[in-house]
């Protein structure tokens, strides 16, 4: 990314290397910043299972340090990037991200009379990300699948970026913004690629379907048209909540990749073609 923007004349664009648990380094990075988007995390499920203390150090303790320094630096709006694996988590990675999201949201209790407000977005797999399942299926000589009936949410990098920025503009503090994503089954990837398939079975803790909004959050969830907003348990600011006047979802509502709109084979091919990623186009 630094090479890509090497000739950008905007002197506000700076690149730092550092550890998010290093508060002094965070203060240097956040100096003069108006808005913060916290996306730093160890995102690998197997890595977290094998390196639990490091996963917790970065994904939980690191998030706490980012939230704390954001307050100390007087940042106005701070947005956390959550994941569907943190909703009703069954893996250490998911549990760490769930804990980090809750920590971030409830940090509003410390800054209710201050400057900084904290909110989160929560979404699924970024389709055109490096090392993601879409790239994996494209480059593999044979398809190694866990369970063809599994479903996963998908979002392109551009869609994710636009959703984060729009949510940043809507937030008051404490909300979790969830896009209305579609999902694809692993079988759909199998149908698209003419390759040998090896079925290995689900890994420990791997769910058949991911969840973006649990039924326990339904009572606080409003349908905003093309996205949902999960309102905070405790409102830390004065005024009307985001989504006032919009419908609450049913009491038994759950937003799962099993009941989301389905991405078919033709749509999956279009995703490969339009993603703008190095993955390439599938004929």
DSSP per-residue letters across 160-223: HHHHHHHHHHH--SS-EEEE--EEEEHHHHHHHS-S-EEE--PPTT--SB-EEE-GGGGGGEEE
Region 15-40: mean pLDDT is: 94
Average pLDDT, the chain: 90
Give pTM, 2 decimals.
0.92
The pLDDT, as a whole number, for residue 276 is: 57
* Residue appearing with tokens 């929560």: 122
Residue 33's domain comprises 23-274
Does the residue 15 lie in any domain? no
* Residue appearing with tokens 């240097």: 28
> In 3-state terms, what secondary structure has residue 35?
strand
Query: Exposed, middle or buried: residue 238 (CB in 10 Å: 0-12, 13-18, 19+)?
Result: exposed
The pLDDT, as a whole number, for residue 98 is: 97
List 198's β-bridge partners, or say none: 144
Does the residue 1 lie in any domain? no
Does the residue 282 lie in any domain? no
Among the options 85, 102, 180, 207, which is catalytic?
Answer: 85
- 85 carries an active-site annotation: yes
Does the residue 9 lie in any domain? no
The proportion of the chain whose per-residue pLDDT surpasses 70, expressed as a percent, equals 97
The pLDDT, as a whole number, for residue 212 is: 97
CATH code for position 197:
3.40.50.720
For residue 67, how many C-alpha atoms fall within 13 Å in the half-sphere facing its CB? 28
Residue 27 vs residue 127, higher pLDDT: 27
Tokens at residue 75, please?
């940042």
Does the residue 27 lie in any domain? yes
Domain count, the chain: 1
Least confident stretch, 9-13, 36-40, 85-89, 120-124: 9-13
Does the residue 219 lie in any domain? yes
Report CA-CA distances (Å) from 101 to 41, 59, 184: 12, 10, 25
pLDDT band at 278 (very low <50, low <70, confident <90, very high): very low
Residue 269 vs residue 227, higher pLDDT: 227
Does the residue 10 lie in any domain? no
Does the residue 16 lie in any domain? no
């Amino acid at each position: 990314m630094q090479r890509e923007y090497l000739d950008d004349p905007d002197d506000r664009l700076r690149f730092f290397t550092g550890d998010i648990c290093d508060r002094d380094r965070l203060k240097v990075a956040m100096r003069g910043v108006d808005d913060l988007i916290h996306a730093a995390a160890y995102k690998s499920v197997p890595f977290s299972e094998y390196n639990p203390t490091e996963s917790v150090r970065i994904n939980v303790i690191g998030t706490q340090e980012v939230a704390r320094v954001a307050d100390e630096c007087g940042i106005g709006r701070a947005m956390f990037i959550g994941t569907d694996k943190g909703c009703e988590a069954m893996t250490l990675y998911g549990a760490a991200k769930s804990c980090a999201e809750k920590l971030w949201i409830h940090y509003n209790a410390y800054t209710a009379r201050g400057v900084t407000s904290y909110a989160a977005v929560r979404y699924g797999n970024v389709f055109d990300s490096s090392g993601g399942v879409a790239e994996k299926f494209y480059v593999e000589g044979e398809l190694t699948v866990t369970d063809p009936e599994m479903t996963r949410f998908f979002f392109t990098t551009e869609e994710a970026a636009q959703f984060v920025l729009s949510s940043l503009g809507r937030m008051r503090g404490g909300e979790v913004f969830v896009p209305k994503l579609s999902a694809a089954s692993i079988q759909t990837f199998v149908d698209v690629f003419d390759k040998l398939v090896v079925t290995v079975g689900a890994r420990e803790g791997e769910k058949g379907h991911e969840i973006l909004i649990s039924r326990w959050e339904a009572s606080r969830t409003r349908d905003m048209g093309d996205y949902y907003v999960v309102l905070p348990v405790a409102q830390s600011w004065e005024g009307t909540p985001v989504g006032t006047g919009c419908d609450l979802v049913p009491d038994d509502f759950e937003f799962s990749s099993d009941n989301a709109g389905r991405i078919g084979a033709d749509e999956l091919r279009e995703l490969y073609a339009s993603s703008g990623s190095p993955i390439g186009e599938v004929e």
